[in-house]
Amino acid sequence: MINYIFCLKIASFAIVSILSLSCQKSIIRQLKQTQAAAQQKPQPNLTYGDLVIKEQLDHILIPVSLADRDVDKESYYDSSRSNSGINQYINIIFYSKKDSKTHLLLNKKAIVTAFELLPHKQEKNPFRFWFYQIIDSDINGDKKLDYQDARIAYLSDLSGKNVQQITPNNTQVMNWTVVPSVDAIFIKILKDSDNDKKFTDKDETNFIKVNLDKPGIGTEIISDEIQQQIKSLFLQ
């Protein structure tokens, strides 16, 4: 009887060992298949936009995109000029006319939705900065950068260096204008005022002023006090 029980235990152990080994082999095989599939996945091709050439500038710009990038282009609460032509560049190459050297505008993952030259009040130097609208923060936590995230304004010098943020985090640029007489740019922004990580028509707008002599994140020109005064007058 003891021998029978002993043999039964041995048989059970053998069966469990065989099943465990088989399971391990299956897991290893699946892992290898997953790794192989990941290695075989084709890398997206880079595509380049038209050359941006200004005779007054020392650098030529080359916008860079991903050929198969799938960007959510659904409408969002925005009255900006960029709505008429949505871009989805992942970077911009600056090429020097003088020495043929190149460098990138950005050293991080981002989407450049618009870039324009800011006019300068001096006739000899008609341009002073490049102005960009850039999505570089996944504020809604969906693990992708798209038009539901913040769209921040940046400036760089004309060579594409000294990049500097000029609008606050968790905002979207709506439109902007340069006022040469005060050497400033005024930017209309949409704020995530209810902190729900979304930009909707329930959120507040404001204007910020950025001094172009000393660029930095601008200050809002419509104070909370003024807004409260307006609301109290309306509710009377």
Average the pLDDT over 160-189 and give the result.
95
Q: What mean pLDDT value characterizes the chain? A: 81
Q: At 97, is the secondary structure helix, strand, or coil?
A: coil
Query: Which of the pair, 110 or 23, is modelled with greater confidence?
Result: 110
Tell whether the model's pLDDT for residue 180 goes beyond 80.
yes
Residue 211 contacts residue 184 (beta carbons within 8 Å):
yes
Q: Distance of alpha carbon 174 from its chain centroid, rounded?
A: 16
Q: 0.85 exceeded by the pTM?
A: no
Backbone angles phi, psi at 7, to 5 degrees: -65, -35
Place of tokens 């080359």: 62
Q: Where are the domains of the chain?
A: 1-41, 67-84+107-235
